[in-house]
Amino acid sequence: MSSRTRHAARTHVGRVRSQNEDAHLENPDTGLYLVADGMGGHAAGEVASGIAADTLGSRLDSLPPDADSAADELSEAIREANSRILREAAEDPAREGMGTTVTALLTLRDGRSVVGHVGDSRAYRLRDGEFLRITRDHTWVQEQVERGGLTPEAARLHSASGVLTRALGVEADVEPDLIREEWREGDLYLLCSDGLTGMVPDRRIAELLRNGEDLEERADALVELANREGGRDNVTVVLVAPGEG
Ligand code: CA
């Protein structure tokens, strides 16, 4: 039995910030789903995350034929978004220093998928009840975790948890992580900004996703949970249940 890809997305300003600088995109026709978390004053953050979403959306305007070209195109699109952000920041002093994360999932109909990733937004996959993080945060605290200096939970709560080691809009070129995946019927992907993962431990996100059925309800519930736990940042979630159609 084959099913169609289903998705649900929510974004919320949170309970503290006055502006939402996150962006997201869902396109079942091209198989592209993404979250971008912008930074920079004077509303420049939302400009940067918007450029990332627009650039990836317009460059990846048709379903790639195979995983190799999907990875190449995703990488090129992320690099082009980086260049555009730098260019627009150079042209307008109010936008100087703007930047963004981007975590993009490209699902192909042949059961493959590719994740392109820069920054500390995340992609997870729930499969047969097992909740797996498939991206690695480009943060200073993540480096400390890998060196054994911090536990993941201490890193999550650390005052420097937001310090990025890689982002779009910082240097002339950017190297995205490209993660190749094979999806199965019944898998559920979560893309999210750190407004979710900074507020809620992975274990509770997993519980919530395992115990729901409806994608829209689960997307609502994730945002509610982030806000109940403090809502200190903008929160964006994109859920994707891949299918063949
Ligand atoms: Ca954020």
Which tens digit of pLDDT belongs to each residue from 75-134?
Answer: 999 999 999 999 999 999 999 999 999 999 999 988 999 999 999 999 999 999 999 999
pLDDT of residue 219: 98
Ligand 1 ion: residues within 5 Å (CB): 37, 193-194, 233
Confidence of residue 33 (pLDDT cuts 50, 70, 90): very high
Alpha carbon 106 to chain centroid, angstroms? 12
- Rounded to the nearest angstrom, the distance between the alpha carbon of 108 and the centre of ligand 1 is 28
Task: Identify any residues that bridge with 190 across adjacent strands, giving them in sequence order.
Answer: 124, 239
Burial 175-186 (b: 16+ CB within 10 A, else e): ebbbbebebeee
Q: How many angstroms separate the CA atoms of 160 and 152, rounded?
A: 13
Residue in the structure block whose two tokens are 């930047």: 99
Residue 197 clears pLDDT 90, i.e. is over it: yes
Residue 57 clears pLDDT 60, i.e. is over it: yes
Q: How many angstroms separate the CA atoms of 120 and 164, rounded?
A: 7
- Rounded to the nearest angstrom, the distance between the alpha carbon of 110 and the centre of ligand 1 is 33
- Rounded to the nearest angstrom, the distance between the alpha carbon of 234 and the centre of ligand 1 is 6
Residue type, 185: E
Mean pLDDT value across the chain: 95
- Rounded to the nearest angstrom, the distance between the alpha carbon of 105 and the centre of ligand 1 is 19
- Rounded to the nearest angstrom, the distance between the alpha carbon of 241 and the centre of ligand 1 is 24
